[in-house]
Amino acid sequence: MTQPLLALEHLEVRFPTSRGESTVVDRVDLTIGRGEFFGLIGETGAGKSMTAWAAMGLVPPPGHISDGVVRFEGRDLLRAREDEQRRLRGQEMAVIVQNAKAALNPMLSIGKQIANAYRAHHDVTKREAYECAVDALGSVRMPDPPAKAEEYPHQLSGGMAQRALIALAMVNRPKLLIADEPTTGLDVTIQAEILDLMSERVASQGSSVWIITHDLAIVANYTERAAVMFAGQIIENGPTSDLFADPRHPYTRGLVEALQNERARGERLKVGGAPPDLVDRPSGCQFAYRCPIAEPQCHVTMPELSELAQRHYVRCLVAERLAREQTA
Amino acid sequence: MTEEAPVRQAHELPPLVSAVEVRKAYQFRARQRLVAVDKVSLTIAKGESLGVVGESGSGKTTLARCLIRLIEATSGQILFDGTDLAHASSAQLRRLRRRFQIVFQDPYDSLNPRWKASQTLEEPLKLLTGMSPTERRQRVGELLSLVRLDDRFRDRYPHQLSGGQQQRVGIARALATNPDLVVLDEPTSALDALVRIEILDLLNALRERLNLTYLYISHDIESVRRVCTRIAVMYLGQVVESGPAATVISNPVHPYTRALMSAVLGARTEVRRSRRRLEGELPSPLNPPSGCRFHTRCPIAVPACSQTEQRLTEVEPGHLVACARITGAEEIDWPDGWDGDGVSGDGAGA
Amino acid sequence: MSANILLEAPLPPQAVKRRVVAYLGFGLLLVVVVLAFLGPLFATHDPTQANALEALQPPGARHWLGTNSYGGDIFSRVVSAARLDLFIGFASVASAFVIAAPLGTAVGYSRAWWASVTMRAMDFIQSFPVFILAMAIVSVRGPGTFNVILVIALLNVPIFVRLIRAEVLSLRERAFVDAARAVGNSGFRLVTRHIMPNALGPSIAQASANIGWALLLTAGLSFVGAGIRPPTPEWGTMIAEGAQNMITGEWWISLFPGLALGTAVLGFALAGDALRALLDVRARTV
C-alpha cells in the first residue's frame, strides 16, 4: 500500500484540570491518503478538533501531546525542527475553521493577506504575490475577484469570508486541507457551494481534505472514508459507503438510523445521553454507559479497533462477537 | 410509521394566526430603509405546524417576532384568534401572552445565567397565571418530565446543562402556560446532529400530545421536513412559495425553492444530486431588485420580471407560488437539471 | 475546544495562583479591619493627646511605634486612623455605587436622548484631573470627613456608571432578555430582576479596588491639608506630619502610617479579584 499522506499513531492529548488530567485525545490511530476526502465525525467534546490541532503540533497550552507520533509523508512532524514544522504547516497543510471572519486578520484586506501567505513560501515580488491572491480568489469562485481582494473581512458575508479563507489556505497548494466545521452557521446554498468547492479541489489539485463535523449528511455526501470519534477515541473507521450501509458500532448505528429516518422512533437505537467524563474514565468501553446493547463484558474490557470488514475498523466487543458468529 | 408530521386539511380548521400584509421596515439615517418583511400574508391553522424557511436576509426571524409582537410591525394586521395584536392594548396583550410563547435559537443565551431551571420555569407561571407557589412547584415538575428531564435538573444552572438540556428547559418554559401557539426560532441550529434529532422528535411528540400549533423558523430544510406540515419559503422579505411541506420539499416549483431544495444534503451516500446553482450574490436588503426580487439570480428571468412585483398564486389546492411566468400559461424553457422533480428520491422524501 | 474543558474548574497552576492571591488579599484586609475595630481597645494612649515631653521618641517600650513631633503616640494614632480611613473608603464607594447602579443600568438600557446627555456629564466629571477637582470642591465646601466622602463619591460615580452601562449594553441584546419579555416581564421587572443582577458583577470587584484608591485619595488630600484636619488621626495627615522629619532621621513618624495605608490598599486590590470570582455563578459546580 502506498504511503499515506498523514498518519497519526497512538496520538494522545491531555489537559490538566482541577480534578486531574483530562485525556481529550485517547491513543488515536488515523491515516489519510493522498487525494482523499476524509471525514471525522463526533459530537461536541468528542475530541475531533483537538485531534486535528494535535496533528499539526498546535495544541494550545496547558494541553500537551503526551504520546504518539504524527507522520506527514513519512516524516515525524512533532519531532522536526521548529522552522521545518512551520514550513510544513504553512505549505503542506492548511486549516480552515468555523468562524471565517474571526480567523482572518481584520486589519488587512483579504488580497493582502493571501498575498502575504504566498510570499511567506515563495520568492516573488509584492505585485506578483497580489496577482496570485486575486487568482486564488477567482479559483474559489468569488464574484469580481479584483474588487473583493481590496475588501476587509468585516465587509464580507459569512459565505464570502469562508471562500476567502479557503483561498488563503489553498494559495500555497497544500497537500492537505483541514476543515474544522467549515459550514456550521452558513446558509444551505452557501454550504453546498463551499463543500462542492472543497470537493473539486481534491479532484483537480490532488489535495486531500480532512473535514471535521458533527453533521453526518456532509460526511455521507462528500467523503470517501470516515471515522467516528467518541470520548477521544476512534470507535469506527472505514469507507463512507460501508459506514452508512453497514454501521457496526452501536453509536454509529444510532447516528445513521436517526439521520436516515428509516426505522420508526421506537425501533431506533438510542445513543444519546450525557457527555463522557474525560478525567475519571470508566474501565472498559467508554461508550458502554450509554450503550443500548452493552453486555457485562463491555464494562470490564476495553475493546480495541479491529478490522471487521475490508478496511472497516470497529471498536466494539459486541460487534466483534457478531462478526465472528456471522463468519462461523 | 415514519416521522413525518401528519397533514391535516387546511380548510377544516379555523386559522389561529392570520397575518395580513405585514410589513416591517427599519429606517436608518440618510434615506436608507431596510424592509425586512414586505407585505407578507399568511395563516396558521390550529393544530398545524408551519415552517418558514429562508436564508440570511429572508426576513423569517423578523416575521416571527412580529407575529407574536416581540417587535412592532410597521404596518399590517396580525390576528391571533381574532384579536388584532398590532393594535391591542397592553392589558389585552398581557392576557393573550400566555397563549403564545417562543423558543429561541441559542439555548444558553436564552436562559438567565444566574437563575436555576426552576426559577426560569416558574417565572411565566408567576407573571401570567394565578397559580399558588405549591401549584407552581408542581407544574415545574410536570414540565420537566414533559421535556424528558429528570427532577434533579430543577436546581441546575444553565452552565451545568448540556446544549440539549438547555434547550429542553427553553421548550419547557415555552410550554409553562399551556399556550396554543409555540414559535420556534431555529431551535436546533446550535445543537449537534444527534441532539438535534432528539429535540425534533420531542417537539413532534409534544405537538401531538398537547395539541399545539407550531410556527417553526429555520434554514435547515431537513428539520422542517421532520416537524412541519406546511411550509412557506421566504426570499428577501417576501414569501415566494407555500404549501404542504412534503410537496414543496420534494417537488419545488418556484426557481428559488428549486435551488434551495437541491442544496439540501440527503441522508444516503449513493445518490448524487445535480445541484441547481444560483448565479450572483444575494442582493442587499437595503437595495432590493425591482419587480420580482429574485430576478437577478433567476435562471428563467425575462425583462418583464424586473418590472412587475409577483403575487402568490395557487398552482394546485393549498400550494401557492409567486412567479407569474410559472403560474401563467406559457411554456418555460428550464435550463438543464432545473426541470422535473426537485430533490431526487434519496430518503429525504416521504 | 472540548466543551468539557470549558465546564471544568480552572486549571491547577492558575487556580493555585488565584487562591494564594485571594488569601493574601483577604488576609491583609483582615489585619486592617481587625486593627480598625479592635485596635483602639489596645491603644496605649489617647490618639489626640499631645505631650511635648515625649516628642520624637523612636519606637520603644512605652511608645511601640514611637511618637511624633508633639508627642502623640504613633501606634494609637495609626490604629485610630484605620477606623476613619476605612469608614471614608467604604462610605464613599458605597454611596457612589448606590447612585451609579440604577443610573448606569438606566443609561445602558435606554436609547433615549437623556442617556447620551448623562454620559457626557460623566465625561465632564472624569475629564478633570482627580486631585484638582477634589481640591476645588473642598476649597468651596471646606475640609472635613463629610466633604471628603462627598468628593470621592462624586469621582467614583462615573467609573461605576461606565462599567455598569457597558455590561447592560451587551446584556440587553441577549436572548434571555427577549425571553423574559416574552413571558410577561414589564420593563421595570426586566431591568431589576434580569439585567441588573447580571450587570453588577464586574463592578463589585472594581469597587473593592476603588476603596483602596479612595484611601489613597483621602490620604493625598489630607497630606496637602485639604482633607482631614489634624489633630484627627488619619494616615495621610500623619504621613504629612512626618514628612519633614524624614530628613532629620525620625523615620518612624511617616513610615508606619504609610505601611498601614499600603497594606490596606493592596489588600483591597487583591481582594477585588477574588470577590469577582466568588460572585461568578459559573463557579458553582454540581
Question: Is residue C2 scored above 50 in pLDDT?
Answer: no
- Please state which of the ranges A91-105, A301-315, C182-196, C271-285 shows the lowest mean pLDDT: C271-285
Nearest to B268 among A188, A220, A272 (CB): A220
Tallying the residues shown for chain B, one arrives at 350
Kindly state the cell numbers that stand for B294: 429574485
What percent of chain B stands above pLDDT 90? 52
Question: Is residue A179 scored above 90 in pLDDT?
Answer: yes
**Which residues of chain A are within 8 Å of residue C13 when distances are taken between CB atoms?**
16, 62
pLDDT at B270: 67
Mean pLDDT (chain A, rounded): 89
Which residue of chain B has the CA closest to A187? Answer: B55
Q: Choose from A195, A221, A225, A243 for mutation: most chain B CBs within 10 A.
A: A221
DSSP element (H, E) containing A201: helix A188-205
Yes or no: say if C226 and C206 are a contact pair by the CB < 8 Å rule. no
pLDDT at C105: 94
Chain-chain contact of A220 with B195 (C-beta, under 8 angstroms):
no
**Which residues of chain C are within 8 Å of residue A277 when distances are taken between CB atoms?**
4
Task: Tell me if chain C has a CB within 8 Å of the CB of A316.
Answer: no
Mean pLDDT (chain B, rounded): 87
- Please state which of the ranges B202-211, B277-286, B338-347, C59-68 shows the lowest mean pLDDT: B338-347
Check residue A90 and report its DSSP letter.
I
Yes or no: say if B141 and B133 are a contact pair by the CB < 8 Å rule. no
Task: Tell me if chain A has a CB within 8 Å of the CB of B266.
Answer: yes
pLDDT at C3: 37
Assign C1 a pLDDT band (cuts: 50, 70, 90). very low
d(CA B181, CA B15): 11
Yes or no: say if C239 and C258 are a contact pair by the CB < 8 Å rule. yes
Contact partners, residue B232, CB within 8 Å, separation at least 6: B42, B50, B51, B52, B53, B239, B241, B242
Contact partners, residue A16, CB within 8 Å, separation at least 6: A22, A62, C11, C12, C13
* Region C263-268 average pLDDT: 87
pLDDT at B342: 43
DSSP element (H, E) containing B37: strand B32-45
pLDDT at B11: 52
Bridge partner residues of A165 (DSSP): none
Assign B346 a pLDDT band (cuts: 50, 70, 90). very low
The CATH-assigned architecture of domain B13-238 is 3-Layer(aba) Sandwich (3.40)
Question: Is residue A70 scored above 90 in pLDDT?
Answer: yes
d(CA C255, CA C277): 34
Question: Is residue A303 scored above 80 in pLDDT?
Answer: yes
pLDDT at C10: 45
Neighbours of chain A (3+ CB pairs under 8 A): B, C
pLDDT at A253: 92
More confident residue, B252 or B280: B252
pLDDT at C282: 62
Kindly state the cell numbers that stand for A279: 478525567
Highest mean pLDDT among A192-196, A312-316, C245-249: A312-316
Chain-chain contact of A272 with B222 (C-beta, under 8 angstroms):
no
Q: ipTM value of the model?
A: 0.83
Question: Is residue C281 scored above 70 in pLDDT?
Answer: no
Among candidate residues B94, B60, B77, the one with its CA nearest the CA of residue B18: B77
Assign C248 a pLDDT band (cuts: 50, 70, 90). confident
d(CA A232, CA A302): 14
Kindly state the cell numbers that stand for C159: 467609573
pLDDT at C49: 76
Assign A130 a pLDDT band (cuts: 50, 70, 90). very high
pLDDT at B200: 93
**Which residues of chain A are within 8 Å of residue B347 when distances are taken between CB atoms?**
260-262
- Please state which of the ranges A268-282, B261-275, C146-160 shows the lowest mean pLDDT: B261-275
Mean pLDDT (chain C, rounded): 83
| pTM of the predicted structure, to 2 decimals | 0.85
Kindly state the cell numbers that stand for B112: 438567565
Q: Choose from B96, B100, B110, B161 for mutation: most chain C CBs within 10 A.
A: B110
pLDDT at B304: 87
pLDDT at A225: 95
Sign of the CA dihedral running B321, B325, B331, B336: negative
d(CA B171, CA B180): 14
Question: Is residue A134 scored above 90 in pLDDT?
Answer: yes
Q: Is domain A6-223 classified as CATH 3.40.50.300? A: yes
Neighbours of B79 (CB within 10 A): 17
Chain-chain contact of A192 with B278 (C-beta, under 8 angstroms):
no
Check residue A284 and report its DSSP letter.
S
Task: Tell me if chain C has a CB within 8 Å of the CB of A212.
Answer: no
Contact partners, residue C98, CB within 8 Å, separation at least 6: none
Phi-psi group of A77: left, alpha or beta (phi > 0 → left; psi -120 to 50 → alpha; rest → beta):
alpha
Chain-chain contact of C2 with A278 (C-beta, under 8 angstroms):
yes
d(CA A268, CA A261): 9
Nearest to B109 among C176, C182, C189 (CB): C176
Q: Does the N-terminal peptide bond of residue A4 adopt cis geometry, omega within 30 degrees of 0?
A: no
A315 to chain C nearest CA, in Å?
22
Task: Tell me if chain A has a CB within 8 Å of the CB of C187.
Answer: no
Yes or no: say if B235 and B294 are a contact pair by the CB < 8 Å rule. yes
**Which residues of chain B are within 8 Å of residue C174 when distances are taken between CB atoms?**
109
pLDDT at B2: 40
Nearest to B70 among C182, C194, C286 (CB): C182
pLDDT at C33: 80
What percent of chain C stands above pLDDT 90? 27
Chain-chain contact of B113 with C181 (C-beta, under 8 angstroms):
no
Bridge partner residues of B26 (DSSP): B34
Task: Tell me if chain B has a CB within 8 Å of the CB of C10.
Answer: no
pLDDT digit string (tens) for B1-23?
344 444 444 455 678 999 989 99
- Please state which of the ranges A125-139, B205-219, B270-284, C89-103 shows the lowest mean pLDDT: B270-284
* Region A239-260 average pLDDT: 91
Nearest to C8 among A18, A47, A60 (CB): A18
Among candidate residues B341, B346, B103, the one with its CA nearest the CA of residue B217: B103
Yes or no: say if A185 and A143 are a contact pair by the CB < 8 Å rule. no
pLDDT digit string (tens) for A205-249?
889 999 999 889 999 999 999 999 999 999 999 999 999 999 999
d(CA C93, CA C148): 12
pLDDT digit string (tens) for B48-72?
999 999 988 899 999 999 998 888 8
What are the residue boundaries of the structural domains of chain B, listed by start?
Answer: 13-238, 242-327
pLDDT digit string (tens) for B130-152?
899 999 999 999 999 999 999 99
Yes or no: say if B201 and B168 are a contact pair by the CB < 8 Å rule. no
What 3-state class would DSSP assign to C218?
helix
Q: Which CATH number applies to C83-280?
A: 1.10.3720.10
Question: Is residue B119 scored above 80 in pLDDT?
Answer: yes
